[in-house]
Amino acid sequence: MAKPSAQQFIDIESRLGAHNYKPLDVVLSKGEGVWVWDMDGNRYLDCLSSYSAVNQGHCHPKIREALINQANRLSLTSRAFRNDQLAPFYEEICALTGSHKVLPMNSGAEAVETAVKAVRKWGYEMKGVAEDAAEVIVCENNFHGRTIAIVGFSTDPMARIGFGPFAPGFKVIPFGDSAALEAVITPNTVAFLVEPIQGEAGVIIPPDGYLRRVREICTKNDVMLILDEIQTGLGRTGKLLAEEHEGIEADLTLVGKALSGGYYPVSAVLSNREVLGVLKPGEHGSTFGGNPLACAVARASLKVLIEEGMIDNAREQGAYFLSELEKLKTNQVKQVRGIGLMLAIELHTDAGNARSLCEALKDNGVLCKETHEHTVRFAPPLIITREQVDWVLERVDQVLRAAP
């Protein structure tokens, strides 16, 4: 029997799958470190890292070993029973992040929903907000997931149109504007939910001092600060958590994606005692959240992130990558921005679309993805070397110069 072609797989996807994604037409079959290979054996340097889920690189052997060992012992108990991986996971992630409480979930969107539920309950029980009056403030151009509640406070028409009615209780303000935050807080405000850097919006970095001022405003008004670090956290920006760049601590921090090194869906709400302390048995949960397989994988993923110096490498290689990207500015490039290994090139609106640039880079062995129409993100695994950064830069330069 003849081996199926990549085009046959693409055709099957198109025929049988929902068309809610628009992937590049490359069918990958193998990954190792920063590299991935397609069905025909062509090699690419991955500059997306599965939206930062594989910060540790593809198929990291130590995480794989933890997965296999635990899968051979015990995979799932539900939270109806205890398991021997949950408590060590709690201890290790709390020690690493300075958290007081943890609630493990599976996806990033589940972590966001969990945080919203918890701060609302905290508002009613601890702050004295009237029932069903709690308000959560969010930012324009946010991306926190795809559930109904979350898309209800999105400002992206693609995320919202056709999915209403939406849950009430959210106020939207401009990102990076601390005065706007202060102006909309009321006695019913229970939380401010914000990304330290807006990834899906195109790696939008707020002004210096923004998070420090936000922290002050939230503390002054007894409002819980929730930082969505699902994409920015776990080393991506050159710090364990992006909040460290401004020396603050959130009341709740949301992590996911790289928490499993790409092997398994794992997320967590990291919290002070006050907020997660309001949840009682039966009020919230997840069959798979905190399962022993997830905990073992997460423990290994955090361990290699620290022991193998990936965070320092992200800071060092990211600074170099950004400085060299800035030298590649051509007539097409409007702006280059980033921090750590979370980088973006924004094109002028009349310089063609970002999709075309991504397709050209794919043909030159670099995989990245557009966001919106005119921005290309670069987010390689945190293990990337200087030589590999140069390899990417050479191809970005070639593609930009070849563009009309």
What would be the CATH architecture of the domain defined by 6-56+309-402?
A: Alpha-Beta Complex (3.90)
Per-residue pLDDT of 77-120, as tens digits, reads 999 999 999 999 999 999 999 999 999 999 999 999 999 999 99
Catalytic position from the list 101, 121, 239, 257: 257
Domain boundaries, the chain: 6-56+309-402, 61-307
Q: Inter-axis angle of helices 61-71 and 292-307, to 10 degrees?
A: 160
- At the topology level, CATH places domain 61-307 in Aspartate Aminotransferase; domain 2 (3.40.640)
Q: Which of 232-246, 347-361, 364-378 has the lowest mean pLDDT?
A: 347-361
pLDDT bucket at 366, cuts 50 / 70 / 90: very high
Active-site choice (101, 175, 228, 251)? 228
| pLDDT tens digits, 28-43 | 999 999 999 999 999 9
Note the pLDDT of residue 331. Answer: 83
Task: Please choose, from the candidates 356, 263, 262, 337, the residue with its C-alpha nearest in 3D space to the C-alpha of residue 24.
Answer: 356
Q: Which of 89, 143, 288, 321 is catalytic?
A: 143
Q: Which residues pair with 254 in a beta bridge?
A: 228, 269
Does 143 qualify as catalytic in the annotation?
A: yes
Q: Are the folds of 6-56+309-402 and 61-307 the same?
A: no
Nearest alpha-carbon partner for 50 in 218, 197, 265? 265
Q: Among candidates 298, 335, 303, 341, which has minimal Cα distance to 321? A: 341
Position 352 scores a pLDDT of 74
| pLDDT, tens digit (0-9, with 9 covering 90-100), for 132-159 | 999 999 999 999 999 999 999 999 999 9
Over range 219-239, report the average pLDDT.
98
